[in-house]
Amino acid sequence: MADTQSPDAIARNVQTVLDNIRQAALRAGRNPESVRLIAATKTVAPARVRTAIEAGVRILGENRLQEALPKIEAVGDCEGVVWHFIGRLQRRKVKAVVGRFQMIHSVDSLDLAAEINRRAAEAGLVQAVLMEVNIGEEPTKGGLAPAAVAEAVAAIKALPNLSVLGLMAVPPLATDPEAARPYFRRLRELVLSLPYEDVKELSMGMSQDYAVAVEEGATMVRIGTAIFGARRG
């Protein structure tokens, strides 16, 4: 469990994950440096997060603002370490997220993008974001429909205080990591189909399927369980 995994185990897990990312990149003929590890830290206590940082993690991903704010405070400033927002973002929480997180992975509507732009302008900064895509077109899931992505990115490109850098997706739940491959491939094809050189990040792949995601072009993988152990609840 997240709170019982020993520091040694966390450090070992980080090395294993980094090694697996490297191997998957090399298998696909990619530069391993082109893939960044994001440790997904929901439910993980600050001391464990620090252990992961000591083991080499540089990007931390949080899902919920209420949980993230005290955790960011408790972990404290660490050289070269940044936080990303990877969970569903509610409009009324945008003000607190903008500027605190280096990147928001989960922009799924123009309305949300407009609010981020407004708050970023107030704060005098440009917020980096990814568009979340409902790549499996699942009725129960958030994210833009694949067919809506090109138009949404074009509209968001016009917002001066928002910088859209790529796409993010969570493929349909499956026990076999290979089941996710066609969805990862589709997300990559989608990002390649966009007429912008600077929209190229692909945030895809979690504990179970990140090796497949890296083979299919992921530039960021979001890993929780494989580093910190199973979450409670």
Helical pair 110-123 and 149-157, crossing angle rounded to 10 deg: 20
> How far is it, in rounded angstroms, from Cα 157 to Cα 151?
10
First to last CA, the chain: 10
DSSP 33-67: GG-EEEEE-TT--HHHHHHHHHTT--EEEES-HHH
Site size with ligand PLP, rule: CB under 6 A: 14
Structural contact between residues 160 and 195, judged by C-beta atoms closer than 8 angstroms: no
User: Scanning the structure block, which residue is given the tokens 């993008």?
Assistant: 113
86 contacts ligand PLP (rule: CB under 6 A): yes
Among residues 130 and 159, whose Cβ is nearest to ligand PLP? 130
* 42, 93, 185, 200: residue in contact with ligand PLP (rule CB under 6 A): 42
Q: Record the tokens describing residue 34, joined without a space.
A: 């082109």
71 contacts ligand PLP (rule: CB under 6 A): no
* 207, 211, 213, 215: residue in contact with ligand PLP (rule CB under 6 A): 207
Q: In 3D, which of 37, 164, 186, 182 has the Cα closest to residue 108?
A: 164
Footprint (CB under 6 A) of ligand PLP, residues 129-188: 170
Min CB(209)–ligand PLP separation in Å: 9
218 contacts ligand PLP (rule: CB under 6 A): no
Among residues 43 and 117, whose Cβ is nearest to ligand PLP? 43
- Which listed range, 9-17, 69-77, 110-118, 224-232, lies at the site for ligand PLP (CB under 6 A)? 224-232
Min CB(105)–ligand PLP separation in Å: 7
Q: In 3D, which of 148, 184, 147, 179 has the Cα closest to residue 169?
A: 184
225 contacts ligand PLP (rule: CB under 6 A): yes
Residues that bind ligand PLP (CB under 6 A): 40, 42, 63, 86-87, 170, 206-208, 222-226
